[in-house]
Amino acid sequence: MSNIKLSHMSHWKTVPYKQIDNFRDYYYEDKSNICYYQDWDRILRYHKAAGYDGIEIAPWDLNEILGLFGTPGEFTAFAKDHGIEVSGMFHGCDDSQIPEKYDEVLQAGKDAIDTLHAFGGKHLNVCPARNYYGVGPLGDEDLKNSAKVINEIGRYAVDHGIQIGLHNEFFCAVNKENHRKFLEMTDPRYVFYCLDTAQIALLGDDLLNFYDTYAERICTFHLKDTASHGEPDETRHGQDVEICDDGWRWFWEPGEGVLPLKELWELVKKHGFKGWCTVEDDGAPDYLAAMCLSSYYVKQVLGKIYE
């Protein structure tokens, strides 16, 4: 069995149907390729055909998924019929730095864990605080407040067979100057790390050094490439920098950017990592093409190093 189980982050946004049975009739409504991206039956088939065994879901997908399937268990069973399981879910731990919000943030984290548990997932990837814009810079007390509540969320997660993984993003309040400090403030028994390869590089940290230093804390990956590195403060601290509609791509498929992913995989092999690796194709103009390119690189290029 492969040491690396490949998952894909769901960035499809809107999948309005569970299964389209009248596919040929649907096609003739506009004679375009839209019908190929309208139901979970086909989306999950693409996952399996492209070499993925898992899907990571986003909280903004939940209302749509539950509206179509009714319960997490129904979606899980449907996905299993396609050879796919839910690997994890993303969770924004907003306001974790505010002591007056402790109970609210803790309950939201527990609710997310309960939801993920119902889907059968194993990783809740958690982004502490909010965006840097309007929140940063965070002082030591802010970091301690955030670490305190995230430790408790992590304790609850471990009790339910789930690991929470801190997930830093280059535009968020836990940023270049404090993301290592924050990780070390958290309890390694309960709080792990989801290494987003592109986000770490955009922060300006050294990807290889970071992984080699914290390999024992890293429970999963968000794998993607970037052609940018070490963005300046005015970019990282700006408003809505990742979602500006200017055509710029922060993220590329593995192998299409400049990150030392082969060298990273040598370290992954050195440390004997085993578990889920989730590919993220956010920002790609063609998700299916990106899924295939990413899977090829992981399996045929990185897989020759360690799989």
- Report the residue count for the chain: 307
List Cα–Cα distances, 291 to 50, 120, 124, 187, 304, in angstroms: 7, 23, 22, 35, 19
28-87 tens-digit pLDDT: 999 999 999 999 999 999 999 999 999 999 988 999 999 999 999 999 999 999 999 999
Domains, in order of start, for the chain: 4-304 (3.20.20.150)
By the 8 A CB rule, do 108 and 102 touch?
A: no
Where does the chain show beta strands of DSSP type E? 4-9, 54-57, 85-93, 123-128, 163-166, 191-196, 218-223, 275-279
Q: Residue 89 above 70 pLDDT?
A: yes
198-249 per-position pLDDT tens digit = 999 999 999 999 999 999 999 999 999 999 999 999 999 999 888 777 789 9
Confidence category of residue 1, pLDDT binned at 50, 70, 90: low
What pLDDT does 130 receive? 94
pLDDT number for residue 45 = 98
Looking at residue 225, what DSSP letter applies? Answer: B
pLDDT digits (tens, 9 = 90+) for 103-162: 999 999 999 999 999 999 999 999 999 999 999 999 999 999 999 999 999 999 999 999
What is the C-alpha separation between 103 and 78, in angstroms, rounded?
35
Q: Is the peptide bond before 260 cis (omega within 30 degrees of 0)?
A: no
Q: Which residue is associated with the tokens 């943030």?
A: 105
pLDDT at residue 101 tops 90 = yes
Sequence-ordered list of residues with C-beta below 8 angstroms from that of 106, at least 6 positions apart, any chain? 149, 152, 153
Give the pLDDT of residue 37: 95
The Cβ of residue 120 has, within 10 Å, a number of other Cβ atoms equal to: 17
Q: Is the dihedral of CA 297, 300, 306, 307 positive or negative?
A: positive
With contact defined as beta carbons under 8 Å apart, do 167 and 127 qualify?
yes
Q: Say if pTM beats, i.e. exceeds, 0.85.
A: yes
